[in-house]
Structure 1
């Protein structure tokens, strides 16, 4: 058994548009989200140098291959779900262009939007998500689909049946934890028709639901998600990591106000903890809004040298980008929608990449900072 596969696995999953389509609490309908997950993988031909956050001074009018957005080609330019973008120089993300995002992201594949050329891709995603069973109040959405992605349930089931030691931490900036809690608990009890055996031990109890908060000094703590829930307040960061790493499922409503007020700075995002010399526990964060941008990271990797007394400190944006595919993974959501084994494959691929990094100079450089 490899080092990566024998380590206790701590999987952090963002909720909205990573494992759940639709965000009623945040104002996005099911169709809004379905359109947005495609828009996030669309690229345009840049109209000049890219400014802050990848925006062009002049709104693009052509796709990345030069096809005018006003045309309807028989085969649309391929969507680009990868971390690196292999197209001619000068490509710009559709979702990072303010005018395009504002006008079209939530209606991306609708008639009248430039993204209407991707309507067939949207319908493939819709078909893959369609709930095939009788409605269940916790497992079904009002749109005839499952509350959570089939790929997410499959991941939980496969890990549970494998006997592997693992934890799941649900991470969100929104108010959707109670909705996800209901779905997870129904699955664990065996109420999902595809998994009637259930998964004892994977319930999300109230005492494992927290609000993650930074203080003015940038120290992170866990506070109860709801008063009277029985969740303890944990002010020591190392203790917080131990609590979230214990086998089972936890939920954290992360500190959006802190991240937003710091301009999306990598040091202010959802924390992910990395003890550099430890090989017995492996953390991996899945989120659709991880960007290949050293100035904009929704995940803040906080690292320390091995040892209980060492404090966690945020890595730089460039260091965080270098760890993509090892301890954090951007989720191009249309892929797990269409590929039920996508999360499982990425867990293994990221483990292999982490093992490679540990043997190389980049890891030695991290240890020296």
Structure 2
């Protein structure tokens, strides 16, 4: 912004600012209806149309009311990105032992888990019919994470673990996760903390752990701690209990990935590539006690 007038610094969509001091249009004006049809957003109309076409549910396939969703234009689109299912296949093929824990502020987690179970266990996804061969299991019971000044509580069915019992207890609980599962995070807590790192979705990281690596992927992870969706808590000693809140920037491409939605739509191997990069970086950054 200069002399009260908005000036574009780049015509290429990017997760990172094109130069020091640049701010996003969204941060100044919020969500603008019809952004790519009127006003300055028209320059991105072609980009939107190209990625919507890539996101289309194949027209030669029958409609699946769980795996596909009808857009405002009446066309069918993938509800869950194909690159996610491709990741499951790729990591298994690479011999990587892993689990997936969905973390969302939304209320659609039960539907996500049910839909993923159909694809992964029943082989109902027409583009990925071999997923059952991976022998992954989906826990369709949605958990909850609730935060307060006293800490965080994770609950799912009869299971319950809280940071009041020690943050390492929560870390060990999540490290022992198997298959695919999910937790609904505490949006109100994030809002009460001005959408900053202090109220973000909590993740626990032990930089001394050579056996388990936690990787958090989210569209709204940002290097600005005043405007990010995740709160990384890092242990200070091997098997120790003391922790610190780490800046998001120090964990980029190590334990945190800011999802590039356009690349995730366009490149089937996107999630696999991001995870392998994090694994390689983590291997070189494991701390010694």
**Structure 1 and Structure 2 fold alike (TM over 0.5):** yes
Match of 1:118 in 2: 44
Structure 1 residue runs without a partner (length 5+): 1-45, 49-57, 66-76, 225-229
Match of 1:311 in 2: 241
Displacement of 1:61 in angstroms is 2.7
Q: Give per-residue Cα distances to partners, 1:326-365, cap 9 Å, x unaligned.
A: 110111211111111111111111222233444xxxx69x
Q: Which has the higher contact order (CA 8 A, sep 6+)?
A: 1
The CA distance in 1 between the partners of 2:186 and 2:241, in whole Å, is 20
Conserved? CA contact 2:216–2:256, under 8 Å: yes
Match of 1:241 in 2: 171
Match of 2:145 in 1: 212
Change beyond 3 A, Cα 1:233–1:90: closer
Instruction: Count the aligned residue pairs.
Output: 277
The CA distance in 1 between the partners of 2:242 and 2:185, in whole Å, is 17
Match of 2:117 in 1: 185
Work out which of the residue numbers 318, 331, 336 in structure 1 matches 2:259. Answer: 331
Displacement of 1:178 in angstroms is 1.6
Aligned-residue CA RMSD in angstroms? 2.3
Structure 2 residue runs without a partner (length 5+): none
Q: Give per-residue Cα distances to partners, 1:94-119, cap 9 Å, x unaligned.
A: 1211x3x24x2x42212x13111111
Match of 2:210 in 1: 279
Match of 1:165 in 2: 97
Conserved? CA contact 1:221–1:234, under 8 Å: yes
Q: Give per-residue Cα distances to partners, 1:160-217, cap 9 Å, x unaligned.
A: 333321010101011110221122011111000111122354343234x211012332
The CA distance in 2 between the partners of 1:78 and 1:171, in whole Å, is 29
Work out which of the residue numbers 279, 284, 289 in structure 2 matches 1:351. Answer: 279
The CA distance in 1 between the partners of 2:138 and 2:155, in whole Å, is 16
Change beyond 3 A, Cα 1:201–1:220: farther
The CA distance in 1 between the partners of 2:267 and 2:2, in whole Å, is 34
The CA distance in 1 between the partners of 2:168 and 2:227, in whole Å, is 25
Conserved? CA contact 1:210–1:253, under 8 Å: yes
SS for the counterpart of 2:146 is strand
